[in-house]
Amino acid sequence: METMARFLTLTALVAFSHPILAAEHLDTKGWKDLFANDLKNSADAGKWSFDGGVLVAKDHETLWTAGAYSNFILDLEFKVEKDANSGVFLRSSNPKDVLAALEIQVHDSTDGSGHGMVGAIYDACKPSKSMAKPIGEWNHFTITCKDSLVIVIFNGEEVIHSDLNDWPEAHKNPDGTPNKFNIALKDYARKGPLGLQGLHGKAMAPVYYRNLKIKVLE
């Protein structure tokens, strides 16, 4: 019994310290900035800029990283204005096609469905609960991609814990609802640039990002 108790304690400690299994936001000290202050490590800064440490877009263009990422933890903060609509794109296979990447939704509302609400994997998986702060307040995402696993911690709560292998068919989610994707999510690229969607939707309302940090995983 004593040996088993020690084993269970060790297992719990490993799970708690392992960044992929973390159920809370992490200390990002020493992590790499996703974008440099001058955006020199972006594919094309376009009309994005930093203003007082806050990254903002002035039109609809997506801001893409110049480098490609496979397994990583991405930590960031965002806030929205009324009717704002944006998103964090993950591992795109074609930056010219927004549906060629998974998108973690950044939104001020449900966008008409659970699969469109803030914190969702757009059109594929709704968050387990609504964790959004009121319009104008800063929100916090910690997004982990490890092989087929996607985890989203949103304002201190894990709201997405999904295995892309559970999406074996195009245009169909595991819960039976349809989606827009022409290929199955299990076949989506496991490496590619990351992006922030620019002003989007009818309102073209501003979205603000700050403290974007990334840690590459093995």
pLDDT in tens, 108-120: 876 667 888 999 9
When pLDDT is averaged across residues 164-174 and rounded to a whole number, the result is 98
pTM above 0.85, yes or no: yes
Q: Which CATH architecture has domain 25-216?
A: Sandwich (2.60)
CB 114 within 8 A of CB 129: no
The Cα 157–Cα 145 span in angstroms is 17
pLDDT digits (tens, 9 = 90+) for 69-119: 999 999 999 999 998 899 999 999 999 999 999 999 998 876 667 888 999
**Residues with Cβ within 8 Å of residue 68, at least 6 apart in sequence:** 91, 191, 192, 193
When pLDDT is averaged across residues 20-43 and rounded to a whole number, the result is 87
Show me where the domains of the chain are located: 25-216
